[in-house]
Copies of this chain bind each other. A is one copy, B any other.
Amino acid sequence: MGKYHHGDVRNVLLQQAETILTDEGPSGLSLRRLARLTGVSEAAPYRHFDGKDGILAAVAIAALERFAAQLEAVADTTEQHEERIMALGAAYVRFAVENPQHFRLIFGRERPPLDQYPELRDAADNAFDVLQRAVTSVDRKAEMTLAEAASAYNRALAAWSRAHGIAMLVIDRMIVPPVDQDLSDFVLGLLAEDLTIPEST
């Protein structure tokens, strides 16, 4: 009975972990259950990953790479600067809504410690670099004064935190986007919203 060495267990485990995580989130992912579902012994995953955090890190890295790629695609296809900021915000929220568990894994407390998984740290840094480059228009940085650069950085933080807040509140169902409106339009509306007091007529 060739139960030993059934091929690339590592990838099958990762794939299965991806499925479980999508359905039940990081805390619902049990290594033992994962092993059983994969049809392998309960200790087998430890041959391929550094325990549970190791698997979560691997899934998080893959998620961050998809996230970064989607953001970059949007940034690359949007010429106008302001428009690009908005489009990035919408893409950011869209990723969160379409991949809530992955989004939570990327940002939440279940994320393995960055300093123990250098590749995870790199993946995270890269994704946020994409954001920041796109928002601060790095291609013009050479011409910027210090004050301009500082202002650009603040604008990046503002844009990021707005998108992040919307994403979080939506996936936590504290905010329910209107069903009769496109998600992007809803997000763009919130991003563009101006908090200064409207003129009293």
Contact = CB atoms under 8 A, between A and B. Distances in A.
A86 interface: yes
Interface string A169-201: 100101100000000000001111111111000
B189 A161 contact: no
A9 B198 CA distance: 53
Contacts of A107: 168, 172, 174
Contact of A108 (B85, B108, B157, B189): B108
A68 to B, nearest CB: 15
Contact of A165 (B27, B80, B164): B164
A121 interface: no
Contact of A166 (B161, B174, B190, B192): B161
Category for how many chain A residues contact B: 35 or more
Interface of A: 25, 27, 80-82, 85-86, 104, 107-109, 128, 151, 154-155, 157-169, 172, 174-175, 189-198
A159 to B, nearest CB: 6
The 9 closest A-B pairs by CB, nearest first: A165-B165, A158-B193, A161-B165, A164-B165, A82-B197, A161-B166, A158-B190, A162-B162, A81-B197
Contact of A168 (B86, B154, B168, B175): B168
Nearest to A148: B198
A197 B155 CA distance: 10
Given A108-B108, A109-B104, A165-B166, A86 B154 contact: no
Nearest to A158: B193
Given A81-B197, A195-B86, A164 B155 contact: no
Nearest to A155: B193
A168 B168 CA distance: 9
Nearest to A135: B195
